[in-house]
Chain A
């Protein structure tokens, strides 16, 4: 497996300005470390040759970057208008009960973190949630239960 430095170097070649490479580089760092630690952000800055604060700006602007550790499965439920109208809030409540955690928390076994996010750009299939890199669409409570069950099995 290529190391982070190599991967970031390679990706950065696509951009004329190293600052444009911050986002993909942060994804790679997040993939490697699970979330963006101080050291991870400093490393990205060093590799791209830009000031650490510039990396920090981007990392704190977007919700896709985790500044805290997250569970194995990071559930991000969209609560923006379209999803809200089609019951996103009920789904969030359901998930809270089902997982026994509040929004922003992680289950004790470290499997699930629950977050709410703004529009995931898939309003046509609302309500929507994203778990790690996968979208789950046209959700109902039953579907959610099914998904959680599958993931639990996958994990054990």
Chain B
């Protein structure tokens, strides 16, 4: 510990604390420019200079650690003069074109000059100019190098946090320009984090350009509707129109970062696909009708089904709020008397009857409900079944950051290569289904080393793993690392949910966690769900239980004509359920298919009744992120046309059946809090900027589950699917901006695979199965395992799910070069 005096106030801080941070904790504000928490230190702008007694020269407080006994001045005449001089230097070459600069009004240079001077510049020479016209760097970035203050925050965030390394400091001295390789169009992530951290108007958002002044904007804080990482966003509106999205410093899991979907992908809200009015199918055509007419119609059709249990079912999206999911369920369980409810973006390949219990057991055994950053402060991190870079980009940023500041050992077990691989201590590729053998081999190694501890905790465990294990570098390295770690964190990705042997995989992981804990280590997991409220949907119980049917069984029952009412809320199974033909066939046999959605989806086109619902932009409520963090979704739009909020619609349907359901999110949340144990400590009103974490259920430890190792055979080619950075299905599909970054799906193939087919990047190939075929452009991706192909999922234009078949994964196909 070190005790220092700053401006006459004394404070004791940890050794190594920066003078800047020590001052801040005393409430003393030192101006900075190049300093940015979480980025490497540059100390180039010299704005943060302070005077330390006994040292002749002023020192940069952003890079100087305290020493015991230091006496520091932040307001002495020498400091004030130096600060003013540094600003004068920055202004010497600055164009001072604030009146036409997007940043004007929220510019750090303006603010600092205003606060610390100088009031007049003395520089009368020619100013340096790089260009007379701003140049475009990407579909989202426009650059004005003349305004740049060379703080390099953009360069550092792009490299150190995002990992794209797309920007650099080009040239030297006064001619330094922070820009792309040869000022060329960027082929980067388009995340806009460089824009966010730029203190001046040098890197600017192209979509937002000249749209508003900061003081004209009304800002609303809400949560990203895309993936389960759950980033907080601040949307800026002018005249009621969404103009930009930004993240806020030190807020939420994302702390001033966002990925491209969150920052630029919200324009889906106003897509022309929005359903304007309720519709009823008449003479086989969907005809717009009034709410009154549709209500009468539904009342007549639904009344006889009240309490009819088995013949009705509901499917809802994991992008709905907790309150909607909870109320939807209540409608089914209490009004229809049915437990046939499901919500998923990852339809299990395994049978539903085994899948959910195993998943729930894994959750109650292993889940860590708490801050991701703390979760990552472990000795070892295992990422299993995810291409983090594409699926949960901001989680990936957090991992990259942690790796740069802590001695965290990263291991990646994933079918798809990702940018994070380079930073890992061990990487293992696998064909889905074969992850069980790999994980079981690790488990066996760990069990061998801790036989005594296991006996003490579990008694005689017998043969937990049956079947042949493997010994390779990855298994050896990971096992020995686990044995040497005190704290272990596991991130479980959506690829594992989709594995044909998901149930076994869950059991192995659950066993592994129990074993590591028995060995005296801390171990927990978080999921990498790719839907904003998948965690909430599971917590709310939106899956088949108490004998209910999941969506897979509902489809089969529908095909057999046993389902008289199916209510689909915000999901598009026709497009995304593996085996599109089965879905079409089944849905056409449903007595009454009701689709409630904001957009005219393929499923809505098949419906008997379509109700216009709302997007996240038009509703209030909560999402629960992958961290188990409950956060407020806040409306910033009204539902357009005759659309209504989904909660209102659900309870309207209940009221047609004579049942009153609550529509106020905070009252519903109070009920959730009462009934669902992890939510006990969470108060709707208390959900501030950072949300609140759900708590742990007391898991019942049922000992270890035996697992018999099986493998999945793959002969020839098989494809897997998943998210792309710019595309994750239904919502991104309707974002014009994201659409401009990726306009068509493609086929990823490994280097060797491409050679064996005689195809190269950009060639067109035909992918066939069961008489169905699609054409795709090839992207060669080094590192995909042999035989495995990747096609991003849910592209409306292609219906790749026609090539999928229920119950298998990867999906076997034939591939050949086109023409």
Contacts and interface: CB of A to CB of B under 8 A. Distances in A.
18 contacts: A38-B182, A41-B181, A51-B165, A51-B168, A51-B181, A53-B165, A53-B168, A53-B170, A54-B165, A54-B168, A56-B170, A56-B181, A56-B182, A57-B168, A57-B169, A60-B170, A60-B171, A61-B171
Q: Is the interface of B mostly helix, strand, loop or mixed?
A: mixed
Contacts of A87: none
Given A52-B181, A61-B172, 13 more contacts: A38-B182, A51-B165, A51-B181, A53-B168, A53-B181, A56-B168, A56-B170, A56-B181, A57-B169, A60-B170, A60-B171, A60-B172, A61-B171
A50 B164 CA distance: 11
A38 B167 CA distance: 16
A26 to B, nearest CB: 14
Contacts of B172: 60-61
Contacts of A52: 181
A22 to B, nearest CB: 12
Contacts of A41: 181
A50 B166 CA distance: 11
A57 B170 contact: yes
A52 B167 CA distance: 9
Interface in B132-176: 159, 165-172
A34 B443 CA distance: 57
B180 interface: yes
A118 B182 CA distance: 25
Nearest to A57: B168
A106 B171 CA distance: 22
A52 B165 CA distance: 9
Interface in A26-67: 38, 41, 50-54, 56-57, 60-61
A53 B166 contact: yes
A36 B165 CA distance: 21
A60 B181 CA distance: 11
Contacts of A56: 168, 170, 181-182
A53 B152 CA distance: 14
A32 B127 CA distance: 38
Interface residues of A, number: 11
Contacts of B181: 41, 51-53, 56
Nearest 6 A-B pairs (CB), nearest first?
A53-B168, A51-B165, A57-B168, A53-B181, A52-B181, A60-B171
A40 to B, nearest CB: 12
Nearest to A67: B182
Contacts of B159: 51
Interface of B: 159, 165-172, 180-182
A53 B171 CA distance: 12
Contacts of B169: 57
A54 B165 CA distance: 8
B30 to A, nearest CB: 30
A60 B171 CA distance: 5
Interface in A80-99: none
B750 to A, nearest CB: 18
Contacts of B168: 51, 53-54, 56-57
Nearest to B159: A51
A50 B169 CA distance: 15
Nearest to A62: B172
B166 A51 contact: yes
Nearest to B164: A51
Contacts of B166: 51, 53
From A38, A41, A51, A61, residue with most partner B Cβ within 10 Å? A51
B166 to A, nearest CB: 6
Contacts of B165: 50-51, 53-54
A60 B179 CA distance: 12
A41 B184 CA distance: 14
Contacts of B182: 38, 56
Contacts of B167: 53
B174 to A, nearest CB: 13
B598 to A, nearest CB: 40
From A38, A41, A57, residue with most partner B Cβ within 10 Å? A57
Contacts of A54: 165, 168
A56 B168 CA distance: 8
A91 to B, nearest CB: 25
Nearest to B182: A38
A78 to B, nearest CB: 17
A56 B159 CA distance: 15
Nearest to B180: A53
Nearest to B165: A51
B145 to A, nearest CB: 13
B404 to A, nearest CB: 15
A53 B172 CA distance: 14
A39 to B, nearest CB: 11
Contacts of A61: 171-172
Contacts of A60: 170-172
From A38, A52, A53, residue with most partner B Cβ within 10 Å? A53
Nearest to A55: B181
A61 B171 CA distance: 5
B153 to A, nearest CB: 16
A84 B168 CA distance: 34
A57 B166 CA distance: 11
Nearest to A45: B181
A54 B172 CA distance: 14
A21 B132 CA distance: 36
Contacts of A50: 165
A41 B166 CA distance: 15
A52 B170 CA distance: 12
A56 B182 CA distance: 7
Interface string A103-120: 000000000000000000
From A38, A52, A54, residue with most partner B Cβ within 10 Å? A52
A54 B167 CA distance: 8
A36 to B, nearest CB: 11
A116 to B, nearest CB: 15
Contacts of A53: 165-168, 170, 180-181
A147 B82 CA distance: 50
B644 to A, nearest CB: 49
A64 B181 CA distance: 19
A33 B166 CA distance: 25
Nearest to B422: A49
Contacts of A51: 159, 165-166, 168, 181
A41 B182 CA distance: 10
A35 to B, nearest CB: 14
A56 B183 CA distance: 10
Nearest to B166: A53
B535 to A, nearest CB: 35
A50 B163 CA distance: 12
A17 to B, nearest CB: 13
A123 B339 CA distance: 88
From B159, B168, B169, B172, residue with most partner A Cβ within 10 Å? B168
Nearest to A59: B170
B654 to A, nearest CB: 56
Contacts of B171: 60-61
